Amino acid sequence: MSQRKIIHVDCDCFYAAIEMRDDPSLAGKPLAVGGSADRRGVIATCNYEARAYGVRSAMASAHALKLCPDLTILKPRFEVYRSVSREIQAIFRDYTELIEPLSLDEAYLDVSECSRFEGSATRIAQDIRRRVSQDLHITVSAGVAPNKFLAKIASDWRKPNGLFVITPAQVDDFVAALPVSKLHGVGKVTADKLARLGIRDCGDLRSWRKLDLVKTFGSFGERLWGLAHGIDNRPVNNDSRRQSVSVENTYDQDLPDLDACLAQLPALLETLEERIARLDRSYRPDKPFVKVKFHDFTQTTLEQAGAGRDLDSYRLLLSAAHARGNKAVRLLGVGVRLHDLRGRQEQLELFAP
């Protein structure tokens, strides 16, 4: 198999960058895009001036204003952001059709078969960054590597407005020195557990046998072993399909108890059914789930195979999820996992007479 060439492109504070582009008077000032503080809003993104004060995405807007009293918080303009995202992806398609969007502001590109710039992934990434800056007047950071795992790490290496390249010859040394906290799927809990075992970087992780990692971390242990050796065989998937459909609401006032949460279910389920009805026939609703975010921002999600999508079934799920925290609730969500029928239909057509 020939060596893959993967680019991960990540826009720099995308929503805020567009707002500063469209209103230059905002440049150089602490800026965030999100919900208003008096309606319990949350920060979607912010510029680097705001980050210097400790403001971060997913932070309550009220808390962000305490950290940075001069912070300007703008209401999101999602139609504008989606339009710019489409323009960026149009630039991507000049180099490859193998594009896997992760969100409006980031994507993987497989440029292994691209003949432009004599097949140099580094020069392709440089040209993409140049064109986005020149045509759309925002900046993007990019990472170039032989696989998705390393390309994503590389794109963050020299943010903002940076480019970092990990060549195949550099993979082994680069990964050996990489802190395990940088590995995909390693959160604070797993990082703390690894630290207690004396594992702080991938060099430490390599001293463990795969079997021992599986015994200690379950199926994730095998993934850890692969990442510690720079292995990631996931292809760039340009056939994105929905995994679920859901609806959630953040309440102006905390819901004080379970009864108050249950009272919100009918309205949430009505909106959910409307969204399910808009799906095409290649999807079949499967497992229902609920999401609960408590007043202290801890959250839990609970789903159940075989359960119905009726009000009583969601009541049982919500009651069980609420019991995990038994605290006042700021956000409720309901949804359903989706079963993709298209793959099955295509298989039937393959074997049809």
Q: What are phi and psi of 326, to 5 degrees?
A: 50, 50
Asked, as a colleague might, if the bond just before 160 is cis with ω within 30 of 0, I would say yes
Q: Is 30 exposed, middle or buried (0-12, 13-18, 19+ CB in 10 A)?
A: buried
Tell me if 312 is assigned to a ligand binding site: no
**Residue 143 near residue 182 (C-beta atoms within 8 A):** no
Catalytic residues: 106
What residues contact 206, with CB distance under 8 A and at least 6 apart? 176, 228, 229
Is 105 known as a binding-site position?
Answer: yes
Long-range own/partner contacts, residues 293-302 (CB < 8 A, 24 or more apart): 293/250, 293/329, 293/330, 293/331, 293/332, 294/325, 294/327, 294/328, 294/329, 294/330, 295/254, 295/327, 295/328, 295/329, 295/330, 296/327, 297/60, 297/330, 298/325, 298/327, 299/331, 300/324, 300/325
- Alpha-carbon 152 to chain mean position: 12
Annotated binding site: 10, 105
Annotated binding site for Mg(2+): 10, 105
